[in-house]
């Protein structure tokens, strides 16, 4: 194979990689970060139990202002989904919810998170951080 043909093959291959990795351009940049933070106004602990398609992260207890986080790459073929059971005390009552916090195949937020998918857990429900407007949007009531 002549060096010129080899070069054009390599270029073609690189183009395929770049095209396949859209919309996050480049392999490293495709990593996403998911955060769940306890912002409960009563400062009580939050219990979360999260799982993805192929992992169960077990029970975690987040004290006020603590957060749990995960880094991962989207699986564009099978989909990437994170789901959590959440539980906390509110005025002596147990509040519970099961929430899909990430799904690359389905729109669950008004604006998709690009790199950092942040959730704030509060007494009224979950707030999603809008990376564009830099503000918290109320999304999911309990
Ligand atoms: C959360 O708070 C409890 C009670 O104050 C404390 O015992 C525990 O170590 C804290 N957990 C973490 C992970 O900071």
Task: Kindly give the distance from the C-alpha atom of residue 63 to the centroid of ligand 1, in angstroms, as a whole number.
Answer: 6
In-domain check, residue 121: yes
Angstrom distances, CA of residue 59 to CA of 9, 40, 62, 103, 126 = 49, 18, 10, 21, 19
In-domain check, residue 39: yes
Task: Kindly give the distance from the C-alpha atom of residue 5 to the centroid of ligand 1, in angstroms, as a whole number.
Answer: 62
pTM of the model: 0.79
Number of domains in the chain: 1
Q: Using the 8-state DSSP alphabet, how is residue 30 labeled?
A: G
Q: Report how many helices (DSSP H) and strands (DSSP E) the chain contains, helices first.
A: 1, 9
In-domain check, residue 112: yes
Q: What is the pLDDT of residues 92-119, one digit of tens each?
A: 999 999 999 999 988 888 777 888 999 9
- The residue segments making up the domain with residue 116 are 31-141
Task: Quote the CA–CA distance of 140 and 121 in Å, as a whole number.
Answer: 10
Task: Kindly give the distance from the C-alpha atom of residue 57 to the centroid of ligand 1, in angstroms, as a whole number.
Answer: 19
CATH number of residue 80's parent domain: 2.60.40
In-domain check, residue 23: no
Mean pLDDT of the chain: 86
Residue from 88, 84, 76 nearest 34 by CA: 84
Task: Quote the CA–CA distance of 50 and 70 in Å, as a whole number.
Answer: 11
Task: Kindly give the distance from the C-alpha atom of residue 106 to the centroid of ligand 1, in angstroms, as a whole number.
Answer: 35
């Amino acid at each position: 194979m002549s060096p010129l043909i080899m070069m054009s093959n390599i270029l073609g291959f690189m183009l395929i990689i770049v095209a396949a990795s859209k919309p996050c351009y480049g392999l490293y940049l495709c990593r996403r970060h998911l955060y769940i933070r306890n912002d409960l106004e009563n400062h009580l602990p939050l219990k979360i139990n999260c799982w993805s398609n192929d992992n169960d992260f077990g029970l975690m207890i987040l004290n006020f202002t603590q957060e749990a986080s995960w880094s991962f790459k989207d699986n564009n073929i099978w989909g990437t989904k994170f789901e959590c059971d959440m539980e906390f005390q509110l005025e002596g009552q147990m509040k519970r919810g099961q929430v899909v916090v990430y799904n690359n195949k389905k729109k669950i937020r008004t604006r998709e998170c690009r790199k950092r998918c942040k959730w704030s857990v509060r007494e009224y429900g979950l707030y999603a951080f809008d990376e564009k407007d830099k503000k918290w949007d109320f999304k999911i009531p309990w």
